[in-house]
Amino acid sequence: MTPVQWLICAIAAIGFAFDIYEVLMLPLIVRPALADLLNVPPNSLAVNDWVGITQALPAAAGGVFGLLGGYLTDLFGRRRVLVWSILLYAFSAMAAGYATTVEGLLFWRCCTFIGVCVEFVAAVAWLAELFTDPVQRERVIGYTQAFASIGGLMVTGMYYLIVTYADSLPEIRGGHQAWRYTLISGVIPAIPLIVIRPFLPESPTWREKKRAGTLKRPSVTALFTPELRRTTIVTTVMMACVYAATSGAIQQMPRIVPGLDGVQAMDRTAQEQTISGVQSFQEFGGLAGRMLLAILATVVISRRRLLYLFQIPGLLLMPIVFVLTPTIGLPLAQWGIFFAGLATIAQMSFWGNYLPRVYPTHLRGTGESFAANVGGRLIGTLGALITTSLVTSMPAGTVPVRLAYAAAIVGTSAYVIGIVASRWLPEPPPQLPD
């Protein structure tokens, strides 16, 4: 690889890392942030009701505008859209740290999700077209996406440090709330990007077609032509299932932990530190899953068989982890979320490798965006809203315990639908469609 290619991989890795950094802030800070903004106890039903909205609405905004971002990626180029999307989510994350109302927090989180959703599509299309050798492309996309889990570890570590030393930091809005400092830290990716941006090349495949005038205009309706209809529908459904399992189950664990025996009696700082510790198990599991996917992607030829290696264990883990955690306690929460994260997060890397291989150049960004944003963000993250809505229907117990049972239902259902839909998943060609 040339120095420029290493630079490209570095920027893509930074983008993927801070995508997840921005997204996984919310499960960590949503409970204390809503408690402060609503002036209610952290484990109250009022917080639970707002959590679903706070997770689902920004994701829906990201899905709608992310689809537009995929179209713009095909229209104006991969590099330009990639850079502006990272700047958008970095500065909106900082603005969210100064919110004084729930509505203000929601608005800036919507802006952050829009940037995250657009960045993923632009980065994957960019990498797929810059690396033409199939084996090298699989490795580059697989390993750079593994940095998404590094981003999860980064935000977990950052939150732990901020919770521990918040009182020593400058006041924001007259206080030292850890959730504000955590949100503001999201501006970090803008710093290296501003310096490196002039050295980033555009995708040669896209640029040459644009110059020659042979680049067809992107169109959402083209995704539903007879040759692409099955691919579009199946990938959209399956990405919705992965995101439903993530938002409806895995990302609810930080709100389940405070209801466990031994954690309830802790003071607020100790509880938040424990939550951060459990979250780190999830992120290490996600990192292991992404790395394992990157290795297996060049060994297992059948994409459907590769996916089954993660889907089937995930289906078994979902009910075990979330139904039994309230009884067994913190050890199962830690190791259960490690393995559930491994199985589920690996599938997100799978789609980053798969989607560029099934759409032609002029539809690559649009096709990826439709599956990731309409399927994943717009539909899939409704899993969080469904989970929080089911809480009141669960057997008697504290809100965290009922939340665990609701998460088990949503996560398991998402896996069942995903495995059934995978029967119709087309095998991609070895070379990128032109």
- Interval 17-29: pLDDT, tens: 887 888 888 888 8
Q: Which residues have CB under 8 Å from 406's CB, separation 6+?
A: 252, 386, 387, 388, 390, 391, 393, 394
The pLDDT value given to residue 141: 81
Q: What is the token pair recorded at 123?
A: 């980065």
To the nearest whole number, what is the mean pLDDT of the chain?
A: 86
Interior/surface letters 6-37, b for 16+ CB within 10 angstroms, e for the rest: eebbebbbbbbbbbbbbbbbbbbbbbbbbbbb
**Distance linking the first and last C-alpha atoms of the chain:** 24
Rounded mean pLDDT of 313-324? 95
Q: What whole-number distance in Å separates Cα of residue 173 and Cα of residue 311?
A: 45
- In sequence order, what are the residues at sequence separation of 6 or more whose Cβ sits closer than 8 angstroms to the Cβ of residue 407? 248, 249, 252, 253, 256, 322, 387
Q: What is the pLDDT of residue 298?
A: 80
Residues 49, 206: contact at Cβ < 8 Å?
no
Q: Per-residue b/e over 270-303, b at no fewer than 16 CB within 10 Å?
A: ebbebbbebbbbbbbbbbbbbbbbbebbeeeeeb
How does pLDDT run across 373-399, given as a tens digit for each residue?
A: 889 888 998 898 899 899 988 887 888
Structure tokens at 320: 């075990």
Q: How confident is the model over 65-76, as a mean pLDDT? A: 77
Q: Which residues, listed in sequence order, are joined to residue 172 by a DSSP beta bridge?
A: 175
The arithmetic mean of pLDDT across residues 306-335, rounded, is: 93
Rounded to 5 degrees, φ, ψ at 216 are -70, 155
Please check whether residue 279 is in contact with residue 338, taking contact to mean a CB–CB distance below 8 angstroms: no
**What's domain 3-424's superfamily in CATH?**
MFS general substrate transporter like domains (1.20.1250.20)
Say what percent of the chain tops pLDDT 90: 28
- The answer to whether residue 432 scores a pLDDT higher than 70 is no
What is the C-alpha to C-alpha distance for residues 332 and 328, in angstroms, rounded to an integer? 6
Quick one: pLDDT at residue 357?
84
What SS3 class is residue 314? helix
Burial class (CB in 10 A: 0-12, 13-18, 19+), 359: buried
At residue 39, what is the residue type? N
Smallest CA-to-CA distance from 352 within 126, 61, 87, 66 is with 126
pLDDT tens digits along 151-181 = 888 888 898 899 899 889 898 888 889 999 9
The whole-number pLDDT of residue 193 equals 66
Report residue 354 as tokens: 């798969």
* Nearest in space to 368 (alpha carbons), one of 239, 217, 207, 216: 239
Domain extent listing, the chain: 3-424
